[in-house]
Structure 1
Amino acid sequence: MREVPLDALIEAHPLGATVLDVREQQEYLSGHVPGAIHIPMGEVPARLQDVPHAQPLYVICASGGRSQVSAAQLEAAGYEAVSVQEGTKGWIARGQAVVTGGSPN
């Protein structure tokens, strides 16, 4: 499983990067990366059909722990998944835009 610095996602996001947010629903609703797909970490193995085969697939959580686990699971299933260091907390701390509310996937 590969980790990438938050800067990699900050650079790729405006170019259409695919982001998978693996936090719990309430965390996602309270603020997430614009356009992020939401599948909680515990549901990822059972919902592989809902995960796009983007290259790479940026997996994000609050700070990096859950995204590492999920990225490893996805990699084992044949995805090019990378875990984003610093997570959503880092995204917000760097002044990046977030979306609140909405309907999680």
Structure 2
Amino acid sequence: MKTMPLIEFHDLYRDDLTIVDVREPSEYAQGHVPGAVLIPLGQLPNRKAEVPVGVPVYVICRSGNRSKVGAEVLAYAGYDAVSVDEGTMGWINRGWPVVTGTDVK
């Protein structure tokens, strides 16, 4: 399982990246990285078919802990999964744009 520093993720960020947010719906609604799709960690094993194959998948959570578990789940299933260090809180703390609400993309 790979990890990526948040600043590096921000540098390569674009709208067409595959970003999976593994937090809970209430956390996601409070603010998430634009373009991130919500699949809570507890649902990821049963919903991994919703994640595109053949492209890097950036997994993000609040601080970087759940994203590591989520990236491991996906990597074990054959995905090119990368856990984003520092998570959404690091993104928000840097003043980078976020989307609020429950619309998943």
TM-score normalised by the shorter chain: which range applies? over 0.9
RMSD over aligned Cα atoms: 1.4
TM-score by length of structure 2 reads: 0.93
1:68 equivalent in alignment to 2:49: no
Matched position secondary structure for 1:88: helix
1:79 equivalent in alignment to 2:92: no
Number of the residue aligned with 1:17:
17
Q: Could you tell me which amino acid in structure 1 is paired with residue 36 of structure 2?
A: A
Tell me how many residue pairs correspond in the alignment. 105
Cα-to-partner distance string for 1:56-83 (whole Å, 9 max, x where unaligned): 2110000011000010010000000000
Alpha-carbon shift at residue 29 of structure 1 (Å):
0.5
1:1-105 paired onto structure 2 within 5 Å: 1-14=1-14, 16-53=16-53, 55-104=55-104
Alpha-carbon shift at residue 53 of structure 1 (Å):
2.1
Alpha-carbon shift at residue 54 of structure 1 (Å):
5.3
Is the contact between residue 25 and residue 104 of structure 1 (CA under 8 Å) also seen in structure 2? no
TM-score by length of structure 1 reads: 0.93
Identity fraction in percent: 51
Matched position secondary structure for 1:44: helix
Alpha-carbon shift at residue 95 of structure 1 (Å):
1.2
Cα-to-partner distance string for 1:26-59 (whole Å, 9 max, x where unaligned): 0001100001011000000000111122532110
Is the contact between residue 28 and residue 102 of structure 2 (CA under 8 Å) also seen in structure 1? no
Alpha-carbon shift at residue 103 of structure 1 (Å):
2.4
Stretches of structure 2 lacking an aligned partner (at least 5 in a row): none
Is the contact between residue 58 and residue 83 of structure 1 (CA under 8 Å) also seen in structure 2? yes
**Inter-partner Cα distance in structure 1 for 2:41 and 2:100:** 19
Stretches of structure 1 lacking an aligned partner (at least 5 in a row): none
